[in-house]
Amino acid sequence: MKNISELIAQHKMGWTLDQKFYKSEEIFTIEVEKIFQDSWIFIGHQSQIPEVGDYFVYTLLAEEVIILRGKDDNIHAFYNVCRHRGSRICLETSGSTKRLRCPYHSWTYNLEGNLIAAKSFPDELEKSDFSLHKCNLEIIAGMIFINFSDNPQSIENLKRDLKEPFSMFGFEDLKIAAHKNYPIDSNWKLAIENYQECYHCAPSHPEYSLSHSLKIENEPEFDKAQAVMLETLEACGLKDISINHDFSRKEIGQEQYAYSRYALFDGYVTGSKNGKPLAPLLGNITDYNQGCSDFNLGPVCYFLAYCDHMVGYIFTPTAQDKCQCDVYWFVKNDAIEGQDYDKDKLMWLWDTTTFADETIIVNNQKGVNSIKYQSGPFTDKENSARSFIQWYLSVIS
């Protein structure tokens, strides 16, 4: 195989990737190191662990991280690796505990990760030198992000520039109403590429296309729909904000991020089957606006906020040739299931759409595997996908 530098040098700007980028274990190893071990990744919401001792375990490939609320009421992140001989400590995916005890030899840690008990611990050593390894953690408007790097890129500009959009939708006062994991038999990049464009929306997502104007982006009718949406924006408690620092516009040393809002078609005020509201209004919003807002937080984490609920999509690899999409549905934290919202109706659109995307992406991978696959040109309706590829190549080079 040609080395990676040669493959990158031969890549044609504005075209899809060479087959080897989707099939090489060597390239995947580099991706894990340079992207997934040095990106801020959404893993949950503070509302999941409200009480001291509550925890859940997040897994990405070989790494497991314990997300735990300590006695100081702060949220901590520790690698799920005992400092004795490396055993996993938490074997359950979630729960509540007074302390962390390794099931192998009973080394025991407090909720702040400090070693407090270890039978036959060597006298010449100090327990304070054997605390659990911490993982970088940030709580951003109630959302929990981690980063595996020893020297993570800054997330300060993201927090500063998106503070107002986060506040508009009341991110800190949300809760996860539902979460579903979708395994996908494809390389992770194909899933991201698919998410980045709506060129496929009209033929592949009839349910989504009935309500969301993004399928006609860059067409005159899209601008007309935007104008209608913007007319009522401020009256509904929202502001016209556009921020773009993702992929090709990413700032050096900063995690990437973006925010924008686009229109829904007439008769729709949220992502429901009939266009009618699904849940109580979020944050500072006072009435339903005919639109939805996109948040891009890092390279693999995306959120779509309607006036009454939000949906998050997190794409991560599970192997070189497999990935997953975790979808989260958020509502206001005091909303009551069965009274203020129906979970099945809340999940309908993006459950249907994600299942359809899984089929699309898997079929794409099958074609990429063919001896006749060749890279092809992106169209003007795939600008974000094109931008993702250029960013990706710059990172792994």
Q: How many domains does the chain have?
A: 2
% the chain with pLDDT above 90: 98
pLDDT-based confidence at 1, cuts 50/70/90? low
Which domain CATH number covers 203?
3.90.380.10
pLDDT of residue 376 exceeding 60: yes
Going by the DSSP 8-state scheme, the letter that residue 377 receives in this structure is: B
The reply to whether 31 falls in a domain is no
Q: Is residue 110 pLDDT above 70, yes or no?
A: yes
Please write the tens of the pLDDT for every residue from 45-73. Answer: 999 999 999 999 999 999 999 999 999 99
Q: Does residue 133 belong to any structural domain of this protein? A: yes
Mean pLDDT of the chain: 97
| Helix/strand/coil for 155 | coil
Q: Which domain holds residue 194?
A: 154-396
Domain assignment present for residue 264? The answer is: yes
| The pLDDT of residue 394 is above 70 | yes
Q: At residue 85, does pLDDT exceed 90?
A: yes
Residues 110 and 166 occupy one common structural domain: no
Domain closes at, from 75, 110, 139: 139
Cα 54 to Cα 65: distance, rounded to the nearest angstrom: 14
SS3 content of the chain, % helix, strand, coil (to 5): 30, 25, 40
At residue 155, what are phi and psi to the nearest 5 degrees?
-120, 10
Same domain, 241 and 190: yes
Same structural domain, 90 and 205: no
User: Are 340 and 235 in the same domain?
Assistant: yes
d(CA 296, CA 363): 26
Question: Do residues 269 and 290 lie in contact, with contact meaning Cβ atoms separated by under 8 Å?
Answer: yes
The tokens of 132 are what? Answer: 């659990």
Q: pLDDT per residue over 239-261, tens digit each?
A: 999 999 999 999 999 999 999 99
pLDDT at 103 over 60: yes
Looking at the structure, do residues 166 and 277 belong to the same domain, yes or no?
Answer: yes
For 132-145, how does the pLDDT look when each residue is reduced to its tens digit (9 = 90+)?
Answer: 999 999 999 999 99
The burial of 12, by beta-carbon neighbours within 10 Å (0-12 exposed, 13-18 middle, 19 or more buried), is given as exposed
Angle at the Cα of 335 (from 333 to 340), degrees rounded to 5? 160
Give residue-wise pLDDT tens across range 174-232: 999 999 999 999 999 999 999 999 999 999 999 999 999 999 998 999 999 999 999 99
Residue labelled with tokens 């800054």: 154
Packing angle, helices 188-195 and 343-368, rounded to 10: 120
- Determine the average pLDDT of the residues in 330-354: 98
Is the entire prediction scored with pTM above 0.85? yes
Tokens 């998050």 belong to which residue?
A: 312
The sign of the torsion formed by the CA atoms of 331, 336, 338, 339 equals negative
Q: What local confidence, expressed as pLDDT, does residue 193 receive?
A: 98
| In a shared domain, residues 226 and 372 | yes
Q: In 29-173, which ranges are E strands?
A: 41-45, 54-60, 63-69, 75-79, 94-96, 100-101, 108-109, 115-117, 136-140, 143-147
pLDDT tens profile 293-325: 999 999 999 999 999 999 999 999 999 999 999
- Residue 63: give its domain's CATH number: 2.102.10.10
Tell me: pLDDT of 100 over 90: yes
Final residue in a domain of this structure, among 139, 162, 185: 139
Q: pLDDT over 70 for what percent of the chain?
A: 99
Residues 225 and 162 in one domain: yes
**Is pLDDT of 2 > 80?**
no
| Residues 369, 345 share a domain | yes
- Shared domain check, 87 and 165: no
Residue 15 lies in a domain: no
Q: Are residues 175 and 101 in the same domain?
A: no
